[in-house]
Structure formats: C-alpha cells, structure tokens
Amino acid sequence: MKNLFLAVALLVAASAPAQKRIEITDLPKPALDFIEKHFHGISVDKVKKDAEHGEKGYEVILGDGTELEFWKDGSYREVDGRGKAIPTAFIDPKIVDYVTKNYPDRKITHIDYGHKDVDVDLTGKLDLEFTKDGTFIKGEKD
C-alpha cells in the first residue's frame, strides 16, 4: 500500500506543470516594464517560470491578488484581477471601446490572449470573446 501511495504521488508530481520560482529580476525586460507601468506600487508576491500547454512563460502574482502571465519573450498573455477591475491602458482600444459602449456599468476584470482569440471577463461575471484584432465575436447578454 505504501508503494502504491508513493507511485501515485510521483505520477501526480510528474504530470503537474513545471513551475520554478525565480526572482523578479529574472523576468524579461518587457515583462518588468509592463509591471512597472501598469501595476506601479503594487508589491510582487511570487514569480514563477512555468510551462503551460507546452509553452514556456512566466507567472507573477501581485500583492493585491492580481495574476499576470507573460510569454517567454516577456509580452503579456493574461491579466486576471480575480474579480476586481484591472487597468485597461494595455488592452486593444477597440476592445475597451466596445466594453465601454455596450457595458458602461461593467469593468474588465480579466483578459486572456489565446492562440486564436481574446477572452475578456467583466464584473458581474460576463464573458466576452474578441478576435486578435479586437473585433467582437460573441458574449453573454445582460
């Protein structure tokens, strides 16, 4: 029984995404610049280098709970405010304009650049989808 437990534990550990804690200074310059510009004054709690979906990148967790993910070149891939509004200066203006016009009482809480589209979550748990060039595809209605 002990060997079975050990085998299961090793299998789970081997199948988990590889994550390695690193120092903030180990991030690529574009990631450091992004954090300084858009999240200035917010502490950094954790920085990890990880491989998700076979792609190497970085994950940063800020002191206010916001989670940032960067591609291996340091460009941002995902910003998750964990239900609270995030800054929008780095988001395609077409997306920000669409949200402002169609959901004036909502704020963007999460943006995720996938391989084919951009997923945007708003306060009130609304989920919208856009093309990479900022054109609205679909989303939930109020």
CATH of the domain at 28: 3.40.1420.30
Other Cβ atoms closer than 10 A to 121: 21
- What confidence category does residue 139 fall into, taking pLDDT thresholds of 50, 70 and 90? confident
Selection from 16-30, 50-64, 75-89 with the highest mean pLDDT: 75-89
67 in the same domain as 51 = yes
Q: Which domain holds residue 72?
A: 15-82
70 in the same domain as 21 = yes
Tokens 């609205």, located at residue: 136
Do the beta carbons of residue 44 and residue 57 sit within 8 Å? no
44 in the same domain as 59 = yes
Judge whether 8 lies within some domain.
no
The structure's pTM equals 0.81
What is the total count of domains within the chain?
A: 2
Phi and psi, residue 82, nearest 5°: 55, 45
**Closest residue by Cα to residue 57 from 31, 25, 36:** 31
Phi and psi, residue 60, nearest 5°: -130, 130
Judge whether 113 lies within some domain.
yes
In this predicted structure, the answer to whether residue 123 has a pLDDT above a threshold of 60 is yes
